[in-house]
Amino acid sequence: MARHRRPMDEWSAIGSGLKELHEAIVKMSVIVGKYGYLKYGDRIAGLSNRLSKIRSDLENEMFREYRSADVSIFFGRKEE
């Protein structure tokens, strides 16, 4: 059975939600890692790494469906 093409507005919602989640995880790993609790901060940072892989995989799926999709949906734009 063929998969249906996901609407672009859903891809945008997924991308922005995962960006916000990633930012929150990074912030939390710094907060938790303070004052000698580095092992917990590092474990939370591991979540960030796994989430980045998921974001990348989903971004690839989006580009399979929409070759000309906005590259900033999942990871934002690089500041110059």
- The pLDDT tens digits for 1-44 are 667 889 999 999 999 999 999 999 999 988 888 887 888 888 89
pLDDT of the residue at 79: 60
Residue 3 included in any domain:
no
CA distance 42 to 49: 10
Counted domains in the chain = 1
Residue 75 included in any domain:
no
Full-prediction pTM beyond 0.85?
A: no
Structure tokens at 55: 């974001």
Q: What is the DSSP string of 17-34?
A: HHHHHHHHHHHHHHHHHS
Structure tokens at 72: 């900033």
Q: Which domain holds residue 60?
A: 11-67
Residue 45 included in any domain:
yes
pLDDT of the residue at 16: 95
Contact indicator for 61, 5 with CB cutoff of 8 Å: no
